[in-house]
Amino acid sequence: MGFVHSPLRALLLLATLSGFFFVPVFAQDAQTDEDGDPKAEEVAEEEEEAKKEELPLEELQVLAEVFGKIKSGYVDEVTDVKLLRNAIKGMLTGLDPHSTFLEPEAFKEVRISTEGKFGGLGIEVTTEGGRIRIVAPIDGSPAADADLRSGDIVTRIDGKLVGDDLRGAVDSMRGEPGTRIVLTILREGESKPLEVPLVRAVIKVASVRGELLEPGYGYARITSFQSSTASNLRGQIEKLVRENETELKGLVLDLRNNPGGVLNGAVEVSDLFLEDGVIVSTRGRGNKEVSSESARPGDVLKNSPLVVLVNGGSASASEIVAGALQDHKRAIIMGTRTFGKGSVQTVIPMNNGGALKLTTSRYYTPNERSIQALGIDPDIVINQTEVSQGGGRKSVREVDLAGHLPNGNGEEENPSASDVEEINIDGGEERPSSMQLSSGEGLQTVDFQIREALNLLKGMSLVKSNLVTK
């Protein structure tokens, strides 16, 4: 027998030994009752558990065989480490779009990014159909300034083709501030690819900002959820109250194109507006509840009307807030259906300095609705611009991603084909540009959805004052 590479030998050995270690032997050890009959049910349960633990010998042998064929027959020489790393990645990407293996450097970057400061373009991306698709740019980032949009497909980075390697694409887009990069993108409605030059910058995610839309009516935007988001939002609302010189009559909370972030940030933001009750719960394998978070007394708005703006770029933590406020009837949700990412990823450090980012549970709203692959439907559907007769581009949501996690409640997943149109083919945007959002003219003058939210707030405030008067 010829020489066999050590990793291949290890795989073969594992495949062989698995057949010895996991063969059930319960029949010979089974206890008997007073009549001498085996305790059949107990034995059956033990055998069933053993089958779950038993490694599939045939599949391990296939893995070892494929490994050997690649080593001996692939057109270019490939290292054992690369093959094994690809096998690990394949195990995870085959589960869902959000489970992945983080190499030590990538894990380090993840820890840095959760602190709200990193070097890059300020863009949230995901994989869909073997391509890298933009979920949302971060306000004030190079990506937002370059008018990159939700739904754009990144095909090349600095001229190099991009496949479905999400980690590799993110690594390529991040880098030293001041360095240049060119993204080639495909955009619905454009006849040919667009080349977008950008300059990397230090991305400081200012997660909350706000302003008075009119006397008595405030506006607060959350761009991502960090550990300090709730305290920053409280401070922003208190600042608006001081500027208004009295309590606010209503607030527009803008969660559009907010890709999510820290779970605790979403819980604490929801808690700012709720007096009691469940905010969110999570369930893991077997639909067993893993955790439940509840509100504490105290409403920062003192029960003044609240309108929450969402769209197809509102994901994860944004959907937790929208779902909690909607189920408790504390706010009117306005806009278009959210992204539908209702799964929890746990980052598990590994011995090599890397980490396993693994989907471990699903989010559920207070009314036990699963967000996963469904999203949050607004109470009032308002598109950013009028939709022309021909229709426009639909935004990409979790349900559109290949291999997405099922809903968990057994509900039928609504494909985007049933979604309302979000972008006018004549050029209307799903989100205002950064220049528009920072305009001193008043956001309601340049943003249709904010204007409609303000009008709704005025009506709600009038109804509330009439009820108080009566």
- Quick check: is 56 in a domain? yes
Q: What is the mean pLDDT of residues 372-397?
A: 72
Q: Does one domain contain both 283 and 316?
A: yes
Round to whole Å and give the CA distance between 325 and 333: 8
Round to whole Å and give the CA distance between 160 and 242: 52
Give me the long-range contacts of 409-413 (CB less than 8 A, separation at least 24): 409/368, 409/369, 409/370, 411/370, 411/374, 413/373, 413/374
Position with higher pLDDT, 308 vs 344: 308
- Which class for 226: exposed (0-12), middle (13-18), buried (19 or more C-beta within 10 A)? buried
pLDDT on residue 395? 65
Domain that holds residue 67: 6-30+41-78
pLDDT on residue 416? 47
Q: Are strands 250-254 and 306-310 parallel, antiparallel or unpaired?
A: parallel
| Active-site amino acid positions | 316, 327, 341
Give 247-306 pLDDT, tens digit per residue.
999 999 999 999 998 899 999 999 999 999 999 999 999 999 999 999 999 999 999 999
Position with higher pLDDT, 110 vs 245: 245
Q: Does one domain contain both 331 and 189?
A: no
Position with higher pLDDT, 41 vs 124: 124
We report the CATH number of the domain holding residue 197 as: 2.30.42.10
| Domain end position, chosen among 204, 224, 248 | 204
- Name 276's Cβ contacts closer than 8 Å, sequence gap at least 6: 294, 295, 296, 297
- Which class for 158: exposed (0-12), middle (13-18), buried (19 or more C-beta within 10 A)? exposed
Position with higher pLDDT, 38 vs 259: 259
The pLDDT confidence band at residue 329, using thresholds 50, 70 and 90, is very high
Give 65-109 pLDDT, tens digit per residue.
999 999 999 999 999 999 999 999 999 999 999 999 999 988 877
Q: Which of 159-168, 253-262, 411-420 has the lowest mean pLDDT?
A: 411-420
Find the angle CA(216)-CA(219)-CA(225) to the nearest 5 degrees: 145
Cβ neighbours around 187 below 10 Å, total: 18
Contact by Cβ (8 Å): 211, 275: no
Q: Are strands 217-222 and 250-254 parallel, antiparallel or unpaired?
A: parallel
Does residue 178 register a pLDDT over 80? yes
We report the CATH number of the domain holding residue 281 as: 3.90.226.10
Q: Does one domain contain both 141 and 184?
A: yes
- Quick check: is 84 in a domain? no
What is the distance, to the nearest Å, from the Cα of residue 128 to the centroid of all Cα atoms in its chain?
13
pLDDT on residue 49? 65
